[in-house]
Amino acid sequence: MNPFSSGTRLRDMIRAIRACKTAAEERAVVRKECASIRAAVSDNDNDYRHRNLAKLMFIHMLGYPTHFGQMECLKLIAAPGFPEKRIGYLGLMLLLDERQEVLMLVTNSLKQDLNHTNQYIVGLALCALGNISSAEMARDLAPEVERLLQFRDPNVRKKAALCSIRIIKKVPDLAENFVNPVASLLKEKHHGVLLTAIQLCADLCIVSEEALEYFRKKCTEGIVKILKDAVNSPYAPEYDISGISDPFLQIRLLRILRILGHGDADASDFMNDVLAQVATKTESNKNAGNAILYECVETIMSIEDSGGLRVLAINILGRFLSNRDNNIRYVALNMLMKAISVDGQAVQRHRATILECVKDSDASIRKRALELVYLLVNESNVKPLAKELIDYLVVSDQDFKGDLTAKICSIVEKLSPEKIWYIDQMLKVLCEAGNYVKDEVWHALIVVITNASNLHGYTVRSLYKAIQTSGDQEAVVRVAVWCIGEYGDLLVNNIGMLDIEEPITVTESDAIDAIEVAIMRHTSDLTTRAMCLMALLKLSSRFPSCSQRIKDIVTQSKGSLLLELQQRSIEFNSIIGKHQNLRSALVERMPVLDEATYSGRRAGSVPAAVSTSQGNTLNIPNGVVKIVDAPLVDLLDLGVDEPAPTNSSAANFLHDLLGGVDISSPSAQSGTMQPQKSGTDVLLDLLSSGSPLAQINTSTSDNKIPVSPLNSLSLSSPLPAATSSMMDLLDGFGPTPTPPAPKDNGPTYPPIVAFESASLRLMFNFSKQPGSPHITQIEANFTNKSSDVYTDFIFQAAVPKFLQLHLEPASSNTLNGNGSVTQKLRLTNNQHGKKSLVMRIRISYKLNNKDMLEEGQISNFPRDL
Amino acid sequence: MIRAVIIMNDQGKPRLVKFYDHQPMEKQQEIIRSIYGVLCSRAENVSNFVHADSTFGQDTRLVYKTFATLYFIVIFDDSENELAILDLMQVFVETLDKCFSNVCELDIIFNFNKVHTILDEIILGGQVVEMNSSDVVKAVNDISGLEKNPNSILRVSKSISGWQGR
C-alpha cells in the first residue's frame, strides 16, 4: 500500500517528512501528499477532510503552496461537529487572509457560530474573527460581538473584547457602539476580562477622539483605583508571576493611564499619586517588577509635566543601567534616548553610568549607549567624555572600533573648544584606530592643521612621534607624511615650541628616514606612497643638503608597476636633478586651505573637482591629430581646380585622406596618439564620422598589432611621426601649382583663429627656427568662451602623412571660465614648399561631468609653412 | 500589538508559525530565514531584543528566548512592553509544559495544532487574552475534552490523531 495515500495519518506524514535527508526528498514527499489531498478534495471526501486540512497546515508551515485547501476550511466550518469546526477555524486563520474573496463566504457560518449555544464554538468563531476579520465582516458581525461582551462566560467576554479591537481598527466608525459596553466591562472583577477590556479601551481611545474624552472624564478615577488596588493588594496566587500580582494587568493599566493623561493636565494630576506608588513600591529584583517599572517610567514621561515624578523615573532608569540583566540595561538605554528630549538635565546626571554601558560586553547595548552618549555631549562636557571614549578605543573590540571612531571624530569636530585640543584628540584617534578613519576625517584634519599656523611646529613634531609608534595606521602615516613634507623645517629646528612640549632632536636625515619607512612599508597603498613622493620632493627643497639621498629614494619608484608612482617618480627625479632653480618655487609652502570651502565640499555642495585616484589620469593633457568635415573643399582646393568628386562628404574625404593612402606605418600614427589609449582605437575613433568607416577599419586593421602594451609603455616620449609622404593623395590630382618656396627664414606669420565654436576658441601662433624652414612651431591657445569650468581637457590633432606632428603637454587639463590653456605643437612638413599644412582636430572635455566633443579641420594655415 | 509568534529549532526549521497581520507565504518563509540568520549568529551573553524594522516596519522589535533546542520568537510593535513580552513567553512555555508534561520539540512537531489552540487561548488578534497559565490550561483541556467526547461525531478519534498524541 502506498504509504502516502490519503489514508496516511497526520503523524505518519510528519514522520515521513522528518525522515527526509535532503530538501529534494522533502519536496517529493510533500508533492505526493499534496497530490493525494487534491484528489481527496476533488472527490469531496468527507471522512478525511479535517485530517487532510491538518496536514495542509503542516505543509503550509514548511512553506509549500496550499491554496487548494481553502474551500475545505469553509466546508469544515460549516460542519456541525466540534472537531471539524476546530480544524476548520485553525485552517481559516492560517491559510486564508482577509483579502481573499473566499472569506466572504465564511461570514454566514461565523454568524451562526457566534450565536451557537456551545460557548467553545462561540470562542472559536470569536478567535477566528479577531484574527482575520475584514472590514465587511466587521460591519456584518459587529452586533453579535457587541452582544457577546455581556455573555455569561468570562472566557467569551474577554475574547469578544479583543475581537472588538479588530473590528474598530477595521471600521473606526463602529467605535461609538463599544464605548458603553467597555465602560461596564471596566467594572469587572475577573482579571482576564479586565485585562482585555482595558486593551479595548486603549484602542478605542486611539481610534476615536470622543471615546478618549469620554473615558478621560468617566473612567480615569476607576482605572486609577484598579491600579491602586493591584499595587497594594495582598498576594493573589492565581495571578502571580514571580511574586508580583498580575504584572500584565498593571502594565496595561499604566498604558491606558498614559493615553488618558497625555495632553491633559487634570487627568495627569489625578494619576500622579498612584504612579509614585507604583514607582516606589514595585520590587525590582524580578523581570516582572522591572517590566512594571519600565512601563511606569514611560507613562511618567508621556503625561503632563510633574518634575518630581520625572526625576524619579529617570532615576529608575539609572538603576536599570546598573542591573545585571542585559535586557533591562537595553530597555533603559532605549528609554533614556526618549527621555533626553523631555529632561536632558536629569539624564546628564547618569552620564557616568551610561558611559560604563559603552564598554558593555553586549554589542547592541554598547551601540545604544554610544548613541546616547553622543546625544549627551555638549560644549561643557566634551573634554572628559571624549577622553573616556578615546581611552576606551584602545581596548575596544575590533568590530566596534569603526562605530566608536566615527562618533568620536564627529564629537571632536563638532564641539572642539580649541584647535590644539582638536589636533591632539584626532592624533590619538588616528594612532589608535587610523585604519577605521574615513578619508574625510583626515582630510579635515589637514585643513585644520594648515589653518593653525601657530601650531604647525607642534603638530609636525607630535606626528613625527606618532608614526614612530603607530606606523601601522594608514591615516596617521598619511597625515604625518604630509605634515613632515610641508613643515619639515619646523620639525628639525624645533621652531614654534609650545610650553607644554618636550624638545626633541630630529635631524634632517631622521625626517627623511620616517618618510622612507612609510614609502617602503609593504602595506602602504598608492595614495600613501604618492603622498610620500610628494613629501620627499618638498623636503628636497627644504633640506637641500639631503637632496641626493632624496633623489635616490625617489628613483626607486621609477620601476613601480603603478603608473602614477612611476610617473611621479620620473617627474620629481628630473625636478630634483635638473630644475633646481624651479624647485623651491614649485614646492613653496601650501597656501592655507579654506575651511569653509572644504566643509562645503564635504557637505556635498561642491563636487570634488579633481579626480585623483585612477592611474590613467595622466596629467599631461596632450593631444593628437584631427580632422573635420566642413572645410574640406578648401583642402582640395589647395591643389586642384576641379572639385574632387569625393568632396561631398566628410567621411569620404577621410577615406581619401587616410584610407586611400597606404597606412603602413602604424607606429607613426599611433605615436602621435594619446598614450593612454591604444593608438588604433583613438584613430578609429577619430575617423568614426560616417558610414564608410568599415573600409577604413579594414585598411587600418593591421595597425592594431603594434599598439599593445609595449607601445603604451614606450610612449612617455612621443615617437617621431611618420615620415612617409602623402604623395599619393594630392599628387593624384595632377600638377600642383607649387607655392614659391620661402626665400628666407625670418618671415613672421600672423596668428590665425584656427577653430572657433560657441564655447571655445583656438588660436595658433606660428614661429620658425632659422635654418629649418620646414619645421613650424605652433603655440596653440585655447580660450574658454563660457564661464563654466571644463575639466579633463584634451586636444588631439591628425595630419596627413607628409606632415609630422609633435605635441607637447598642455599647460593644464582644466579650463576655467574664460580662462585659457596653451599647448605647443611642432609640425614638420616633408613636402615643404609643395604642400601646405592641414590638420584635423578634436577637442574633448568635461562640462559638469558631461563629456563634450568638438571637431574641426584647420586649413587656413598661411600658405608657405 | 503582537505581530507574529514563531517557534523554530536551532536548525532554523519552523515548528510553529503564527502571523497576526497577514503575510504571503513566501514572505513568511523569508522572514523565518532572516530571523534565523540573525539569531543563530548572536552571542550568548547579549540581550534578547533585536530590532526588526527591516522586515516589519518602523519600531518593531523581536524578542527571543531559547528553550533547549527551540527558539521562541515574538515580534511586536511599540505598543507592547518588551519586558512584559518576556514574561508572556514564559507563561506560554509554562503552559505548554503543563499541557504536554515536560514539553519537548517532538511534542510541538506532532501536536502543532494543539499548540495553535494553546496559543489562541493566550493571544488573540495580536492582543494578550490571558496571562494566567492555569486558566489557559483549563480552557485547552475543555476543548480537548469536547473533541474526545463521544457525543461529538465519531470520526474525531481517528481524524485528529495528530493531536491526541501521546
The whole-angstrom separation of Cα A113 and Cα A128 is 11
Q: Do A10 and B16 touch (CB under 8 A)?
A: no
Size of chain A, expressed as the number of residues it contains: 865
Same domain membership, residue A143 and residue A74: no
Same domain membership, residue A750 and residue A640: yes
Smallest Cα–Cα separation from A639: which of A801, A834, A857, A827? A834
Kindly report each contact of residues A832-835 with a partner whose C-beta sits within 8 Å and lies 24 or more positions away, as own/partner: A832/A741, A832/A773, A832/A774, A833/A738, A833/A739, A833/A740, A833/A741, A833/A742, A833/A864, A834/A736, A834/A738, A834/A739, A835/A638, A835/A639, A835/A726, A835/A730, A835/A736, A835/A802
Q: Please calculate the CA angle A561-A565-A571 and round it to the nearest 5 degrees.
A: 125
B79, B139, B153 member nearest A81 (Cβ): B153
Domain extent, residue B77, equals: 2-154
The per-residue pLDDT for A238 is 60
* Probe site for chain A from B47, B53, B76, B142 (most A CB atoms < 10 A): B47
Smallest Cα–Cα separation from A432: which of A472, A481, A379? A472
The per-residue pLDDT for A727 is 40
Domain boundary among A183, A208, A233: A208
List, edge to edge, every strand of the sheet that includes A839-847.
A790-798, A839-847, A850-858
Q: For residue A789, what is the domain's CATH number?
A: 2.60.40.1230
Domain extent, residue A151, equals: 104-208
List, edge to edge, every strand of the sheet that includes B2-9.
B14-19, B2-9, B70-76, B61-67, B49-51
pLDDT in tens, B106-116: 999 999 989 99
Q: Do B162 and A9 touch (CB under 8 A)?
A: yes
The per-residue pLDDT for A114 is 92
- How many pairs of residues across A and B have Cβ atoms under 8 Å apart? 194
Q: Is residue B91 within 8 angstroms of chain A, CB to CB?
A: yes
What is the longest distance spanned by two Cα atoms in chain B? 53
**B-chain residues near A163 (CB < 8 A):** 124-125
Whether B91 is in a domain gets the answer yes
CB contact at 8 A, A162 and A198: no
Residues of chain A numbered 441-470 and touching chain B (CB < 8 Å): none
**B-chain residues near A287 (CB < 8 A):** 83, 86-87
pLDDT in tens, B87-96: 899 999 999 9
The per-residue pLDDT for A148 is 92
Work out how many domains chain A is built from and give that number.
Answer: 3
Placement of cell 581646380 in the chain: A641
Whether A200 is in a domain gets the answer yes
The per-residue pLDDT for A159 is 93
Domain boundary among A61, A96, A131: A96
pLDDT in tens, A65-108: 888 888 888 889 998 888 889 999 999 988 886 666 778 888 98
**A-chain residues near B146 (CB < 8 A):** 82, 118, 120
Same domain membership, residue A751 and residue A669: yes
Q: How far is B95 from chain A (nearest CA, A)?
A: 13
Whether A76 is in a domain gets the answer yes
pLDDT in tens, B8-36: 998 889 999 999 988 888 888 999 999 99
Placement of cell 495580536 in the chain: B126
Same domain membership, residue A715 and residue A845: yes
Q: For residue A162, what is the domain's CATH number?
A: 1.25.10.10
B17, B83, B160 member nearest A287 (Cβ): B83
- Grid cell in block for residue A729: 593623395
Q: Residue A734, by phi and psi: left (phi above 0), alpha (psi -120 to 50) or beta? A: left
Q: What count of Cα atoms within 13 Å lies in the side-chain half-sphere of residue A65?
A: 4
The per-residue pLDDT for A234 is 65
H-helix segments, chain B: 25-40, 53-56, 82-100, 105-110, 112-122, 133-148, 155-159, 161-164
Q: Is residue A366 within 8 angstroms of chain B, CB to CB?
A: no
The per-residue pLDDT for A198 is 93
Same domain membership, residue A839 and residue A735: yes
* Probe site for chain B from A34, A70, A82 (most B CB atoms < 10 A): A82
Same domain membership, residue A704 and residue A657: yes
Residues of chain B numbered 100-139 and touching chain A (CB < 8 Å): 109-110, 112-113, 116-117, 120, 124-125, 127-132, 134-135, 139
**A-chain residues near B147 (CB < 8 A):** 82-83, 86
Same domain membership, residue A649 and residue A753: yes
Nearest 5°: phi and psi at A233?
A: -70, 150
Q: Do B143 and A120 touch (CB under 8 A)?
A: yes
Q: Do B25 and A63 touch (CB under 8 A)?
A: yes
Whether A146 is in a domain gets the answer yes
CB contact at 8 A, A2 and A16: no
Residues of chain A numbered 152-171 and touching chain B (CB < 8 Å): 155, 158-159, 162-163, 165-166
β-bridge mates for residue A761, sequence order: A756, A783
Q: Do A87 and B18 touch (CB under 8 A)?
A: no
The neighbour count for residue A303, using CB atoms within 10 Å, is 26
Q: How far is B55 from chain A (nearest CA, A)?
A: 18
A159, A238, A251 member nearest B124 (Cβ): A159
Same domain membership, residue A151 and residue A19: no
Whether A315 is in a domain gets the answer no
Q: Do B87 and A287 touch (CB under 8 A)?
A: yes
Domain boundary among A189, A208, A227: A208
Smallest Cα–Cα separation from A156: which of A140, A169, A145, A141? A145
The per-residue pLDDT for A237 is 60
The per-residue pLDDT for A625 is 34
Whether A254 is in a domain gets the answer no
Q: For residue B66, what is the domain's CATH number?
A: 3.30.450.60
Q: Do B155 and A327 touch (CB under 8 A)?
A: no
Same domain membership, residue A747 and residue A844: yes
Whether A645 is in a domain gets the answer yes
Residues of chain A numbered 309-328 and touching chain B (CB < 8 Å): 326-328
Q: What count of Cα atoms within 13 Å lies in the side-chain half-sphere of residue A172?
A: 9
Strand, coil or helix: A749: coil
Residues of chain A numbered 331-360 and touching chain B (CB < 8 Å): 331
Report the residue of chain B nearest A88, measured CA to CA.
B113
Whether A119 is in a domain gets the answer yes
Work out how many domains chain B is built from and give that number.
Answer: 1
A162, A248, A294 member nearest B125 (Cβ): A162
Same domain membership, residue A170 and residue A58: no
The per-residue pLDDT for A394 is 82
* Probe site for chain B from A22, A95, A131 (most B CB atoms < 10 A): A131
Whether A394 is in a domain gets the answer no
The low-confidence residues of chain A, meaning pLDDT below 50, are 1-6, 605-745
**B-chain residues near A10 (CB < 8 A):** 160-162
Q: How far is B135 from chain A (nearest CA, A)?
A: 9
Q: Is residue A62 within 8 angstroms of chain B, CB to CB?
A: yes
Q: Is residue B69 within 8 angstroms of chain A, CB to CB?
A: no
Please give, one letter per residue, the 3-state secondary structure of A712-729: HHHHHCCCCCCCCCCHHH
What ipTM does this complex have? 0.88
The whole-angstrom separation of Cα A522 and Cα A514 is 15
Same domain membership, residue A199 and residue A69: no
B83, B132, B160 member nearest A192 (Cβ): B132
Query: For residue B151, what pLDDT band results from cuts at 50, 70 and 90?
Result: low
Kindly report each contact of residues A508-514 with a partner whose C-beta sits within 8 Å and lies 24 or more positions away, as own/partner: A508/A539, A508/A543, A508/A545, A508/A546, A509/A546, A509/A549, A511/A464, A511/A484, A511/A539, A511/A543, A512/A536, A512/A539, A512/A543, A512/A546, A512/A549, A512/A550, A512/A553, A514/A464, A514/A467, A514/A468, A514/A480, A514/A481, A514/A484
DSSP A742: P
